[in-house]
Amino acid sequence: MDFMKLLRSFEEFLFEATSWLVFYPLTLWRVLVRPLETMAYSDAEQGDDEAGRYDDSLTPPLFLLITVVLMNLIALAAHLPQPQGGGTLQHAIFASPQNAALFRALIFSLIPLVAAVALLRRQGIRLSRESLRPPFYAQCYLAGPCAVIVIGGGIIFQRHDIPNVYGLLLMLAGIAWFLTAQTRWFAGRLAIGPLRAAGIAVWALVQALVFFVALMIPVALF
């Protein structure tokens, strides 16, 4: 009986893992081409039952995690130099590919977290796990391409055989795409003008960067 349960669990895992090969590129394409529609889709899926939720795409946190893991694998394949110096904590994180991927996923999750909190505060909605989940999930879709932009640009900057200008262009184009989508999202959800929405989007990004620096300080020191 236990063997049959184990076999069914393996079958389910195998199906889920292989289905990512189909749904990951589909989800990435939808986010890049129709970011607002994809975020609205995420909001709608929150009302479905758990079994049928995100049936034709990856869940937003999983999409973000897989993106970070893939970019981490690309960085490993590029044979980039490991960070020098630092303490025990930095070595424990970056010496292990698994730890580095999880840490980067945590870092990039700051973007959806800060943006979701900013939305709820301006809507006057009490902050709770239930109220935070829908905007956080929607924002995780935007955070996926951000991981591609930042990690991809960093890879280019560390490769001496690729001009740094390509990395700069990638990051500038990515930031423009992200802020445009973020501005439209805030404008639509808060029913405000584009200038005010752009200010909120930029300020949320700045706050996420501040939290990033706050996390990196102990990593660099200890």
Q: Identify the CA nearest to 114 among candidates 206, 44, 50, 197.
A: 206
CA distance 77 to 158: 13
pLDDT at residue 1 tops 60? no
| Domain assignment present for 193 | yes
CA distance 190 to 139: 15
| Domain assignment present for 166 | yes
Write the single-letter amino acid at 38. Answer: T
Helices (H), the chain: 2-33, 35-45, 60-77, 88-94, 97-108, 110-123, 129-158, 164-190, 194-221
What is the average per-residue pLDDT within 170-175? 91
Burial 126-155 (b: 16+ CB within 10 A, else e): eeeeeebebbbbbbbbbbbbbbbbbbbbbb
| Domain assignment present for 2 | no
| Domain assignment present for 208 | yes
pLDDT 10s digits, 56-75 = 899 999 999 999 999 988 88
pLDDT 10s digits, 84-131 = 656 677 777 777 778 888 888 899 999 999 999 999 999 999 999 999
- Please count the structural domains in the chain: 1
Q: What is the per-residue pLDDT for 98?
A: 82
pLDDT 10s digits, 15-39 = 888 888 999 999 999 999 999 999 9
| Domain assignment present for 49 | no
Average pLDDT, the chain: 88
Which residue range is the domain that position 165 belongs to?
Answer: 59-221
CA distance 112 to 142: 8
Torsion sign over Cα 95, 99, 102, 107 = negative
| Domain assignment present for 29 | no
CA distance 97 to 91: 11
| Domain assignment present for 215 | yes
pLDDT 10s digits, 185-210 = 999 999 999 999 999 999 999 999 99
Q: Give the burial class of 198: count Cβ atoms within 10 A of its Cβ; 0-12 exposed, 13-18 middle, 19 or more buried.
A: middle
Q: What is the per-residue pLDDT for 87?
A: 66
| Domain assignment present for 13 | no
